[in-house]
Structure 1
Amino acid sequence: MTDLSTRPRPADPGDPSDLTAQAAAALLASNRRRRRIRRWIAVGTLPLTLAALLFVGKILSMYAFAHQSITAYVADDYAGSEAAARGQDFLNWFEPFKAPFNIGTALAGAEKLPEARAELEESLELASGLEVCTVRINLALVLERMGDAARADGDGAAAAELFGEALTVTTEMPEECDSEEAQEQSSDPDRDMQQSTDDLEDRLKQKQQSEQQTPPEEEQPEEEPQPQPSEDKLDELEDKLEQGTQERDQQQGDDGGGSGTDKPW
């Protein structure tokens, strides 16, 4: 027979100590669930957080490189301007035309005209809307300077071709470029874009026409006829020649035919 006094007594539902233990256990379990949820949220949002940081860093670096490039260009530090502009070229998602535009402008300042042309042509392909206005003006200016260099080297045909290409770039300028909005977006707000374009077109037309005109042939001066000696003069020269021959023969006879060098006349 079992002693009832040794059996464990069932917990009293109304015991305060048991209620406290149950509440503590439930709180711990809830905290563990919340920590797991926070951990999974952190892991899940980590790529988004990194992308956001990269996005902000890229924007800040673009403005920093752009400011540095402009500052160096104004100070005639074209090498520094080019280096800063190339910093914009990395992961250039937002305004892809600006990096080659700034690089080409810096190269043009350093008189590296063929390289500048290549960069500006790339910028023109990437530009859209009003962005093409400033790119076209700078590209036309570079082509004009290349034409000037060819003309200075005496290559008129190449100069005329380059002037024609520059003129094509300006004449294909969209009508939207002649607007206040385009002027506000210009890389040089102090420059009147429409007036600059008109002046550039007029200048290119004059240069192209001057190279295409064939220079007039220089007239060869007519040779004046040489005066012919008179008969009296010819007779006098003939007498002198005969007299000289006689004197030489006489001298050779006196010398006994010895060898020697004839004296010049």
Structure 2
Amino acid sequence: MTMPNEAAALLRSNRRRRRIRRWVAIGTIPLTLAALLFVGKLLSMYAFAHQSITAYVVDDFAGSEASARGQEFLNWFEPYKAPFNVGTALGGAEQLPEARTQLEEALDLATGLEVCGVRINLALVVERMGDAARADGDGAGAAELYGEALTITIETPEACRSKQAQLQSPDPQRDMADSLDGTADRLKQKQQEEEQQQQPQPQPGEKEQPSEDKLKGLQDKLEQGTQERDQQQGDDQGGSGTEKPW
């Protein structure tokens, strides 16, 4: 009687263990799927980023944009990267207003040294918008856009000139400090040129209007001449009575 009871108890114990293992396996399915999704998302982010950069280098801006938009789905890691890469690709394709919108979104999402590359590209896109406005004959609009691009550049944090920022640069071949300085100098010159163009220029044959100081000097001379004439007339009336020309 003892052996059958022990066998039955062992059988029940094995069944219980199998049931527990089965429920443990079922319970870990969500965690396993989440882990797989996490790894897959990481790999896809790197793949899309690589494809976007590679396409941009060969001037395939449409392909670069398409790859960058692949980063938008479940964009948990570095959320600024997707709009940054999309905006950069659109800028290369001369879709400047759309590029500006994407880069401004990236700037809102960026933190720390991430803002450095975003600000540099945003300033360049706005500068090119100013160039386009100037080419269309809109000097006032160009000057305004140059001013906006200059503000974006000047407000770039000083930390973006550091070695750590350079290590995180989206373009290691481009020195961030040199880019910021060169962009600022170029924008100041362009803005000044456009502002000078907006100043009214005298038309050919048009006489220059005298300044207030010149007008006052002329008035003083006229008053002095009138006084001298009146004095001479008074003196002449005591003589021949003939009015002399003045």
- Is TM more than 0.5 here? yes
**Residues 112-162 of structure 1 deviation map (CA, whole Å, 9 limit, x = unaligned):** 001100000000000010000000000000000000010011000000000
Consecutive unaligned residues of structure 1, counting only runs of 5 or more, are: 1-17, 223-265
Q: What TM-score do you get using the length of structure 1 for normalisation? A: 0.75
Question: Could you tell me which of 81, 98, 102 is aligned with 2:81?
Answer: 98
Instruction: Give the Cα separation in 2 of the matches to 1:199 and 1:221.
Output: 40
Other structure's SS at 1:73 match: helix
Give 1 or 2: higher helix fraction. 2
Alignment correspondent of 1:142: 125
Offset at 1:219?
2.1
Give the AA of the match of 2:202.
Answer: E
**Residues 83-136 of structure 1 deviation map (CA, whole Å, 9 limit, x = unaligned):** 000000011011110000000000011110011000000000000100000000
Matched, 1:116 2:95: no
Offset at 1:49?
1.4
Other structure's SS at 1:89 match: coil
User: Root-mean-square deviation (CA), in Å?
Assistant: 1.3
Alignment correspondent of 1:37: 20
Instruction: Give the Cα separation in 1 of the matches to 2:111 and 2:202.
Output: 49
Give the AA of the match of 1:33.
Answer: R
Consecutive unaligned residues of structure 2, counting only runs of 5 or more, are: 208-246
Instruction: Give the Cα separation in 1 of the matches to 2:113 and 2:200.
Output: 42
Other structure's SS at 1:39 match: helix
Matched, 1:160 2:143: yes
Instruction: Give the Cα separation in 2 of the matches to 1:166 and 1:113.
Output: 13
Matched, 1:216 2:169: no
Q: What percentage of aligned pairs have identical amino acids? A: 74
Give the AA of the match of 2:203.
Answer: E
Structure 1 runs (4+) deviating above 6 angstroms are none
Offset at 1:216?
2.5
Q: What TM-score do you get using the length of structure 2 for normalisation? A: 0.81
Equivalent residues in 2 for 1:9-28 (5 A)? 18-28=1-11
Give the AA of the match of 1:220.
Answer: G
Offset at 1:41?
1.1
Alignment correspondent of 1:234: none
**Greater radius of gyration (CA):** 1
Other structure's SS at 2:202 match: coil
Alignment correspondent of 2:213: none
**Residues 41-86 of structure 1 deviation map (CA, whole Å, 9 limit, x = unaligned):** 1222222111111111111110110011011111111000000000
| Matched length | 205
Offset at 1:218?
3.0
Other structure's SS at 1:187 match: coil
**Residues 218-239 of structure 1 deviation map (CA, whole Å, 9 limit, x = unaligned):** 32289xxxxxxxxxxxxxxxxx
Offset at 1:215?
5.2
Alignment correspondent of 2:168: 185
Other structure's SS at 1:220 match: coil
